[in-house]
Amino acid sequence: MNDASDWRPTCSLAVLRARADILADIRAFFAERGVIEVQTPTLGLNSTTEPQIDPLRTTDGAFLQTSPEHYMKRLLAAGAPSIYQLGPAYRAGEAGRLHREEFSMLEWYRLGFDDAALMDEVAALVDRILGAADCRRIRYESLVGAVIGDPAELDLRFASAVERLGKGRWFVTDYPAEQAALARLRDGDAAGAARFELIVDGVELANGYHELTDPVELRQRMVRDNAARAAAGREFMAADERLLAAMTHGLPNCAGVALGVDRLVMLAIGASSLAEVMSFAER
């Protein structure tokens, strides 16, 4: 039963002010670069097929969006310039110091960028919010070791390796093809994906791709995703036909990244959990 007497915010008013300043700084960063802010639905007919992500659903079967990615790519296919979105996202079963079912996500797409160029821009944004520091790069296989074993085992090995990195900023690059998600594969390197993740002081902060633009390959990946979901006892997720149609029309060459805003604020103010930087963390 909810305790109605516990009505106060989770975070302090000082943190609310600090958070507001950070959000304003993020928007200024993109305004200076001519990247426009967009708003897309947080409730939709489809969701991701990624095997490790479960969406939240409404009673009529609609999905709270785990990311604005599909809608933002549809905007790009329709001719939008470089864009960003700053707002809520939802993932079922996410709980803990660094996870919430509802959280704030910053996602942006840069036309004409590859993953290397986007990593430079991600580093510039993080420097602006957290202060300048070196950001090193390490290949996935150099961090995790031989890329063998089932996905759950690889996830555990990755988490353990991230802990061993300790303090500092790291881009993990060149993911194995099996973990490409929506990233394209390297030209001439069928084993490597143009995907990266930013780790800051042991916290997984951002995940980015040089985006896949081939709708045939995307449909094949969605089929493989659902096979993995079935093997794990997860719900089947229908392919997003509108996204596939948009990609058939033509998704321009671009790179995109999603960054956890609550985690960024947590790092900026020296907090130890997301609950400390959210106005209300009741779930």
113 lies in some domain: yes
What does the alpha-carbon distance between residue 124 and residue 118 come to, in Å, rounded to a whole number?
Answer: 10
Place of tokens 């001519």: 34
Residue 180's pLDDT is 92
Residue 166's pLDDT is 85
Which pLDDT tens digit goes with each residue over 63-121?
999 999 999 999 999 999 999 999 999 999 998 899 999 999 999 999 999 999 999 99
Which pLDDT tens digit goes with each residue over 7-21?
999 999 999 999 999
Q: What's the mean pLDDT in 201-219?
A: 97
Residue 283's pLDDT is 77
Closest to 103 measured CA to CA, from 42, 57, 44 = 42
CATH code of the domain covering residue 40 = 3.30.930.10
Q: What's the mean pLDDT in 268-280?
A: 95
Q: What is the pTM of this model?
A: 0.94
Asked if residue 220 has pLDDT above 90, the reply is yes
Residue 190's pLDDT is 59
- Percent of the chain, pLDDT > 70? 96
Residue 98's pLDDT is 94
Residue 159's pLDDT is 85
76 lies in some domain: yes
Q: What's the mean pLDDT in 235-252?
A: 97
1 lies in some domain: no
Q: What's the mean pLDDT in 164-192?
A: 87
How many Cα atoms occupy the beta-carbon half-sphere of 58 within 13 Å? 11
Name the residue range of residue 122's domain.
Answer: 13-277
210 lies in some domain: yes
What does the alpha-carbon distance between residue 222 and residue 239 come to, in Å, rounded to a whole number?
Answer: 7
The CA-atom distances, in angstroms, between 162 and each of 10, 147, 183, 210 are: 28, 16, 21, 22
259: which 2 tokens? Answer: 């960054």
Domain count, the chain: 1
283 lies in some domain: no
Alpha-carbon torsion, ordered 254, 140, 224, 210, to 10 deg: 0
Count of positions (residues) in the chain:
283
Higher pLDDT, 158 or 263: 263
Asked if residue 191 has pLDDT above 80, the reply is no
Which pLDDT tens digit goes with each residue over 44-64?
999 999 999 999 999 999 999
Burial degree of 243 (CB within 10 A; 0-12, 13-18, 19+) = buried
128: which 2 tokens? Answer: 């602006």
282 lies in some domain: no
7 lies in some domain: no
Average pLDDT, the chain: 93
Closest to 92 measured CA to CA, from 54, 46, 50 = 54
